[in-house]
Amino acid sequence: MQSGQACVTLHDMNKMISVLAATAASVVGLALLVPPMTANETDAQPDPRAMAPMPEVPEGAEVATLGAGCFWCVEPVYQQLEGVHSVTSGYMGGHVENPTYEIITTKLSGHVEVVHVVFDPETISYETVLDWFWRLHDPTQTDGQGADIGPQYMSTIFTHGDEQAKIAQASKEKVQPAFDKPIATTIRPATRFWPAENYHQNYYERNKHLNPYCRMITRKLEKLDLEP
The catalytic residue among 7, 70, 73, 214 is 70
The answer to the question of residue 22 being in a domain is yes
The answer to the question of residue 165 being in a domain is yes
Q: 146 by DSSP, 3-state: which?
A: coil
The answer to the question of residue 9 being in a domain is yes
Q: How far is CA 22 from the centre of its chain?
A: 18
Q: Mean pLDDT throughout 96-123?
A: 97
The answer to the question of residue 180 being in a domain is yes
Q: How confident is the model at residue 16 (pLDDT cuts 50, 70, 90)?
A: low
- 12-18's contacts with Cβ under 8 Å and 24+ in sequence apart are 12/105, 12/150, 15/148, 15/213, 16/105, 18/211, 18/212, 18/213
Q: How confident is the model at residue 147 (pLDDT cuts 50, 70, 90)?
A: very high
Measured CA distances, 99 to 18, 26, 103, 160 (Å) = 21, 25, 6, 21
The yes-or-no answer on residue 214 being catalytic is: no
Query: What integer pLDDT is reported at residue 57 of this predicted model?
Result: 98
Among candidates 91, 85, 131, which has minimal Cα distance to 109?
A: 91
Strands 156-159 and 186-189: parallel
Q: What is the count of structural domains for the chain? A: 1
The answer to the question of residue 132 being in a domain is yes
The answer to the question of residue 228 being in a domain is no
Residues 6+ apart with CB under 8 A from 20: none
70, 211 Cβ separation under 8 angstroms:
no
Share of the chain above pLDDT 90, in %: 80
Q: What does DSSP assign to residue 197?
A: B
Q: Each residue of 179-193: pLDDT tens digit?
A: 999 999 999 999 999
The CA dihedral of 55, 105, 24, 201, to the nearest 10 degrees, is -10
Between vectors from CA 190 to CA 145 and to CA 52, what angle results, nearest 5°?
75
Q: What are phi and psi of 18, to 5 degrees?
A: -65, -40
- Domain span at residue 215 reads 5-50+59-223
Q: Mean pLDDT throughout 195-208?
A: 97
Q: Each residue of 19-69: pLDDT tens digit?
A: 554 444 433 333 322 334 344 444 567 899 999 999 999 999 999 999 999
The answer to the question of residue 80 being in a domain is yes
Measured CA distances, 194 to 5, 30, 108, 151, 191 (Å) = 27, 28, 16, 17, 9
- The pTM for the full model equals 0.83
Domain CATH for 105: 3.30.1060.10
Q: What are phi and psi of 198, to 5 degrees?
A: -55, -35
